[in-house]
C-alpha cells in the first residue's frame, strides 16, 4: 500500500466522522453519546468512546461538542472517584480507566484536573500488591486481564506513577499463558486475540521495548491468529463483583479493532505492518453505507463504541504508514527475521546438498569447463561464504538468547 492516505481510507473516515456526529445528543439531562444512535448518553461504550473518535478526527478539545461531552462525563463521577456505566451503577475499574484515557486524549491529567486525579486514586486502590487490577477495590483477589491492561494504559499516561506501572507491566508478563504466549481474560482462561492485543498495546504505551522477548512472543501469538480475510475473532468477557451480588457484568471485544491498534505499536516489524495492512483492508471493505461498522455480521445494531474503536485504530495505522516507506533497518529486520524462521529449512537443505553434490559435480565441471571457469575456486568461495554466514547466524542467535534471558 502507498505511504499516503488512500482515497478510500479518507472517504471511510469522513463517513464515520459524519455518522458519529449524527449520534451526538445535547440535552438538559445528558450530553454526549449513547451506545447507539437511539440511546441516551452513557459513559463507557458511548460518551468516552465518542470523545476518542472525535479526537482521532482532529476535533479541537475545547470545541462546544467535546467540551459539553467532557463536562457531562465528569459530572457522572461517583464519590469514590470511579465512573459508572449504564447498568454498572458501581465504579468498574474498566470503565474508569477508559474515562481517564479519553480525558487524557483531551489533555487532562492527574496534575491539571481534579476529576482525573480522583479517578487515578480510585484505580490505584483497585490494584493488588502484585500489580494486577480487579474490577473494584472490594474484588481484589479476583484480578483479570482487561482491568489490568486498561489501568496500565491509563496510568502510564499520568504523572508520578512509574513504580506502579513497572509493577503492573511485570504482572502482565507473569499472566502470559506459558504455552501459547497469548493472554486470556484471566489467568487460566484460554488466550484470545483481542485480550492479547489489549496487553500488547498497554505495555507499549507503558514504554516496554518492542523487541522485548516476552512481548515478541505475544506478537507471534497475535499474528498467528489472523484469519485469511485479514480479520481477528471477537471475544467476550464476563465477571462478578460484590457490588452486584451475583449478577454478572459483561463486555465484548472487537478482535480486528484491537489487533490493528496493537499491530501499529510494532512499526519495525515487517510482519506486523503486513498484518496491519490486511486487517485495515478488511475493515475498510466492511464499513456500512451509513459510515458505521458492525460488531457482528448477524447483529444489525450500529454501536458507537465499535465504530470509534475502528476509527482510532485506522488513524493510528494511517499515521504509521505516512511516516515513510521501509528503511534500511526495516530491510535488515526483514532479512534476519526470515533467516531466523527459515534456519531449520536452510540447514536441512545444506545437508541434502552436501549429500547429492558428488553426483552433480562432474556435470557442473563439464558445464563450467566450457566457459573456462575455475570450479574449485567457485566452490571454495561458496564454502567460505557459507561458513561466514553460519558464524553470523550463530552470533545473532547467541545475542538473541542473551537478550531474551535479560528481558525475563
In this prediction, residue 327 carries a pLDDT of 46
Q: Return d(Cα 316, Cα 269) in angstroms, integer.
A: 16
In this prediction, residue 135 carries a pLDDT of 96
In this prediction, residue 407 carries a pLDDT of 44
In this prediction, residue 373 carries a pLDDT of 57
Positions of the chain with pLDDT lower than 50, given as ranges: 1-7, 325-330, 404-408
Predicted TM-score (pTM) of the model is 0.79
- Report DSSP letters for 295-364, one per residue: SSTT---BBHHHHHHHHHHHHHHHHHHTT-S--HHHHHHHHHHHHHHHHHHHHHHHHHHHHHHHHHHHHH
Comma-separated ranges of CATH 1.50.10 domains in the chain: 7-171+226-248+278-325
> 7-171+226-248+278-325 has which CATH code?
1.50.10
In this prediction, residue 7 carries a pLDDT of 46
Query: If you search the block for the grid coordinates 522477548, which residue do you land on?
Result: 213
In this prediction, residue 374 carries a pLDDT of 61
Q: Return d(Cα 355, Cα 358) in angstroms, integer.
A: 7
What Å distances lie between residue 164 and 18, 155, 207, 225, CA to CA?
40, 8, 13, 31
In this prediction, residue 396 carries a pLDDT of 64
**pLDDT digits 0-9 by tens, 266-297:** 999 999 999 999 999 999 999 999 999 999 99
**DSSP structural state of residue 36:** B
In this prediction, residue 4 carries a pLDDT of 43
Amino acid at each position: 500500500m502507498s505511504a499516503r492516505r488512500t482515497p478510500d481510507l479518507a472517504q471511510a473516515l469522513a463517513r464515520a466522522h459524519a455518522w458519529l456526529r449524527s449520534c451526538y445528543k445535547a440535552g438538559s439531562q445528558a450530553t454526549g453519546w449513547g451506545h447507539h444512535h437511539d440511546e441516551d448518553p452513557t459513559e463507557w461504550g458511548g460518551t468516552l468512546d465518542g470523545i476518542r473518535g472525535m479526537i482521532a478526527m482532529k476535533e479541537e478539545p475545547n470545541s462546544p461538542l467535546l467540551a459539553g461531552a467532557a463536562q457531562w462525563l465528569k459530572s457522572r463521577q461517583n464519590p469514590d472517584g470511579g465512573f459508572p456505566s449504564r447498568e454498572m451503577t458501581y465504579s468498574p475499574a474498566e470503565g474508569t480507566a477508559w474515562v481517564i484515557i479519553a480525558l487524557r486524549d483531551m489533555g487532562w491529567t492527574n496534575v491539571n484536573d481534579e476529576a482525573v486525579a480522583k479517578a487515578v486514586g480510585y484505580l490505584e486502590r483497585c490494584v493488588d500488591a502484585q500489580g494486577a487490577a480487579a474490577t473494584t477495590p472490594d474484588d481484589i483477589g479476583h484480578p483479570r486481564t482487561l482491568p489490568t491492561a486498561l489501568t496500565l494504559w491509563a496510568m502510564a499516561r499520568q504523572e508520578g506513577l512509574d513504580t506502579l506501572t513497572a509493577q503492573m507491566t511485570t504482572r502482565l508478563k507473569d499472566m502470559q499463558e506459558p504455552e501459547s504466549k497469548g493472554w486470556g481474560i484471566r489467568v487460566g482462561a484460554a488466550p484470545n486475540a483481542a485480550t492479547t492485543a489489549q496487553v500488547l498495546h498497554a505495555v507499549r504505551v507503558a514504554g516496554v521495548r518492542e523487541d522485548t522477548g516476552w512481548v515478541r512472543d505475544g506478537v507471534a501469538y497475535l499474528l498467528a491468529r489472523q484469519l485469511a480475510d485479514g480479520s481477528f475473532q471477537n471475544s467476550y468477557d464476563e465477571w462478578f463483583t460484590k457490588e452486584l451480588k451475583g449478577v454478572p457484568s459483561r463486555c465484548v471485544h472487537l478482535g480486528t479493532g484491537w489487533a490493528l491498534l496493537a499491530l501499529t505499536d510494532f512499526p519495525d516489524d515487517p510482519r506486523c505492518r503486513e498484518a496491519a495492512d490486511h486487517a485495515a483492508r478488511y475493515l475498510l471493505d466492511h464499513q456500512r453505507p451509513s459510515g458505521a461498522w458492525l460488531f457482528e455480521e448477524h447483529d444489525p445494531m450500529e454501536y458507537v463504541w465499535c465504530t470509534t474503536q475502528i476509527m482510532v485504530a485506522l488513524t493510528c495505522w494511517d499515521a504509521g504508514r505516512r511516516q515513510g516507506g521501509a528503511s534500511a533497518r526495516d530491510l535488515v529486520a526483514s532479512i534476519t527475521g526470515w533467516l531466523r524462521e527459515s534456519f531449520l529449512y536452510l540447514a536441512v537443505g545444506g545437508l541434502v546438498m552436501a549429500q547429492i553434490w558428488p553426483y552433480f559435480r562432474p556435470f557442473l565441471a563439464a558445464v563450467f569447463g566450457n566457459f573456462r571457469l575455475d570450479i574449485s575456486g567457485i566452490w571454495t568461495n561458496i564454502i567460505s561464504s557459507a561458513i561466514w554466514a553460519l558464524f553470523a547466524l550463530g552470533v545473532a542467535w547467541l545475542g538473541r538468547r542473551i537478550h531474551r534471558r535479560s528481558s525475563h
